[in-house]
Amino acid sequence: MLAAYSLALTVLNGRWIARRFSKHNYPNTQNAIRVLSSLQQAPLRVTNEGALLASLIVLPQNDPWWRELIEWLAWHHTWSISTVTSIAWVIIAYIFTVTNSFTGELDPDFNPDGQSVGSLWLWLLPIVIGWLQISPKCDEDRVRSAVERANKIAYAATDTHPVSVKDLNTEDRAIHLAFGEEDEVLRCDEMVTAPIYNYARFLPWVQAVEKVSEMFEVASYHHHHHTSVDPTIKWIAMDDSIGGHWSKPHDRNRVGSVEQVARYCEFDPHDQHTAFKSMWGPNVFSRIAIASALAFMLQWGTVGAAFIVVFFTPTTGEQYSFTFHLLINTEGFIHHSVGLGCRSGSYLLFGVLSTIVWVFLLISSLLVHYVATSSPSSAHTRNEPLTFQGHHGGRSYPLRLSIARHFAISLRRLAKLLATVNAIWILATCLFQFGNFFDRCYCNSSVFGRGSGAYNVIKLVASDVEPMKNAWVGGVCLAGGTAFLFVGFFNVFIEPTTSRKLRSGDY
């Protein structure tokens, strides 16, 4: 469930950032979208200390920075012949398994294990397809190297003229990756570049993007009103670019002193826009709700399908002596024994534990962000740029934040322990099914659901077959339908209209 949640968040973030920047028309707006979207798999941080971020946005000397970083981040782990073949074989195998369940003869030893297990693991298919389409930049060494190489060609404004950032007496960079956070215990998941950990990077990434967007917004406002960075330099008219965009500013209108560059990207302190800023970021809870609903749908659509198949299938086996009740109908046959048993109970437990793990990790990520943004050393309390630095384990936190910190860490560790146990359990369950471990009197009698009224099935009657097959049809439609809807979701949202519009121009 966590994998589906992180994937849905990544897709929604891509759409959100495209819309967030769609009204900005300052140079490198499009490049900023591509850079920031590509860095969803890294602990992104931004800082405007010494007008570094403002310089990165405004100065024409930094245009190559954006272009080069995009090029250095432009590697893909996407479709190949072997990948397509593997996915095709999975789909074909599932179709054959389902077809065999409906066309095969229902002998005394039949069971729907193949169909139920296939439905149980069907959630993997849309997850794999989704990440292949997104092609996340999750190689830590390559991402770190790309950002570091780009920062070597960055420029910053000074009191006289722009200079290379590497020549300044500072280690700060406008955009950097915080793989070396001091409180690594608190934020360890955020620093792991595997896509499934996007849930932990969501909130700090949103705030970093929002900081960049705000500066592009102010710069675009000044650009729209033909205001130069240096007020003493008159606006130089340029030819309009294609696509209906405003004219691109002349390079002379984009240079000035460090104070002028900083002011060019700052909101008026008396503006209502800056009256209140949430520690969470814009529209984060709506995206969390949508991603949660999609993950819940995929998780319980596939697990629920497997559960339905085995729950409504009478468990039959060899006729042997047992002590459970035998209920005989008027025709002399045993009624079908459906209900909660070893197989369906195992699936239900897997689904419940997966959901609990996701809830624990979601709460933990919210607490981590709350602690990081509420501590005395955070950007929010110091009125300084979003550097998220100054953590010293739990020693620098007030009591309430220290409690929240330890609770977040404990929740995360408990969730990972449960996830490990759950993974082992579901693999063991599949082995038990195919190894006939569950083919015993206790498991074949739906004891969990029927209790003292449990019984074993010796022979199916004709009236039992139709409802059983109806449940199979429902299970297959539920699993396939939810997987199809999930794939359809990210194919609709992965390529927003605003992104296509931005591609048409040079911004």
* CA separation, residue 58 to residues 25, 44, 220, 240 (Å): 12, 20, 10, 19
b/e 359-384 (16+ beta carbons within 10 angstroms → b): ebbbebbbbbbbbbbbbebbbbeeee
Give 497: exposed, middle or buried? Use CB within 10 Å, 0-12, 13-18, 19+: exposed
pLDDT tens-digit map of 190-223: 999 999 999 999 999 999 999 999 999 999 999 9
In a domain, 123, yes or no: no
Structure tokens at 141: 């060494």
Q: Are residues 70 and 151 in the same domain?
A: yes
**Cβ neighbours around 390 below 10 Å, total:** 16
Q: Are residues 145 and 165 in the same domain?
A: yes
Q: Using the 3D structure, point to which of 277, 305, 323 is the last residue of a domain.
A: 277
Domain of 212 in residue numbering reads as 2-77+135-277
Q: Are residues 228 and 313 in the same domain?
A: no
pLDDT tens-digit map of 427-441: 999 888 888 787 777
Nearest to 50 by CA among 265, 204, 206: 265
| Distance from C-alpha of 117 to C-alpha of 344, rounded to nearest angstrom | 11
Q: Are residues 391 and 479 in the same domain?
A: yes
In a domain, 159, yes or no: yes
Q: Are residues 264 and 291 in the same domain?
A: no
User: Torsions phi, psi of 71, nearest 5?
Assistant: -65, -40
Please list, in sequence order, all residues whose beta carbon lies within 8 angstroms of the beta carbon of residue 225, skipping any fewer than 6 positions away.
none
Tens-level pLDDT at each residue, the chain (507 residues): 999 999 999 999 999 999 999 989 999 999 999 999 999 999 999 999 999 999 999 999 999 999 999 999 887 666 778 788 888 888 888 888 888 776 755 554 556 667 888 899 999 999 999 998 888 888 889 999 999 999 999 999 999 899 999 898 888 999 999 887 667 888 899 999 999 999 999 999 999 999 999 999 999 999 999 999 999 999 887 765 544 445 688 999 999 999 999 999 998 765 655 444 678 888 899 999 999 999 999 999 999 999 998 888 775 444 333 444 444 333 433 344 567 888 889 999 999 999 999 999 999 999 999 998 887 655 443 334 333 333 444 446 788 889 999 999 999 999 999 999 999 999 999 888 888 787 777 777 766 666 666 556 666 666 667 777 888 889 999 999 999 999 999 888 885 544 444 444 444
Structure tokens at 279: 């520690």
Coil, strand, or helix at residue 457? strand
Query: Is 41 within 8 Å of 195 (Cβ atoms)?
Result: yes
Nearest to 507 by CA among 255, 260, 242: 242
Q: Are residues 291 and 352 in the same domain?
A: yes
- Amino acid occupying residue 288: I
| Crossing angle (nearest 10°) for helices 140-151 and 63-72 | 160
Q: Are residues 446 and 308 in the same domain?
A: yes
3-state secondary structure 72-93: HCCCCCCCCHHHHHHHHHHHHH
Q: Are residues 205 and 323 in the same domain?
A: no
Give 26: exposed, middle or buried? Use CB within 10 Å, 0-12, 13-18, 19+: buried
Kind of pairing, strands 155-156 and 175-177?
unpaired
Q: Structure pTM?
A: 0.85
Q: Are residues 404 and 436 in the same domain?
A: yes
| Distance from C-alpha of 220 to C-alpha of 469, rounded to nearest angstrom | 62
Please list, in sequence order, all residues whose beta carbon lies within 8 angstroms of the beta carbon of residue 142, skipping any fewer than 6 positions away.
75
CA atoms lying within 13 Å on the CB side of residue 430:
15
Q: Using the 3D structure, point to which of 244, 277, 310 is the last residue of a domain.
A: 277
Nearest to 144 by CA among 193, 95, 187: 193
Q: Using the 3D structure, point to which of 277, 307, 325 is the last residue of a domain.
A: 277
Domain count, the chain: 2
Question: Which residue has tokens 């969501």?
Answer: 202
Cα angle for residues 149, 151, 157 (degrees, 5° grid): 155
In a domain, 221, yes or no: yes
In a domain, 109, yes or no: no
The distance of Cα 277 from the centroid of its chain, to the nearest Å, equals 24
| Distance from C-alpha of 339 to C-alpha of 445, rounded to nearest angstrom | 8
* pLDDT given for residue 386 in this prediction: 34
Q: Are residues 10 and 67 in the same domain?
A: yes
Q: Is the dihedral of CA 13, 14, 20, 21 positive or negative?
A: positive
Cα angle for residues 435, 441, 447 (degrees, 5° grid): 110
Nearest to 336 by CA among 367, 370, 312: 312
Please list, in sequence order, all residues whose beta carbon lies within 8 angstroms of the beta carbon of residue 427, skipping any fewer than 6 positions away.
none
In a domain, 317, yes or no: yes
In a domain, 374, yes or no: yes
Q: Are residues 320 and 382 in the same domain?
A: yes
CA atoms lying within 13 Å on the CB side of residue 236:
12
Question: Which residue has tokens 């102010």?
Answer: 218
In a domain, 88, yes or no: no
In a domain, 128, yes or no: no
Q: Are residues 342 and 228 in the same domain?
A: no
Query: Is 158 within 8 Å of 259 (Cβ atoms)?
Result: no
- Which helix (H) or strand (E) segment is 179 a member of? none
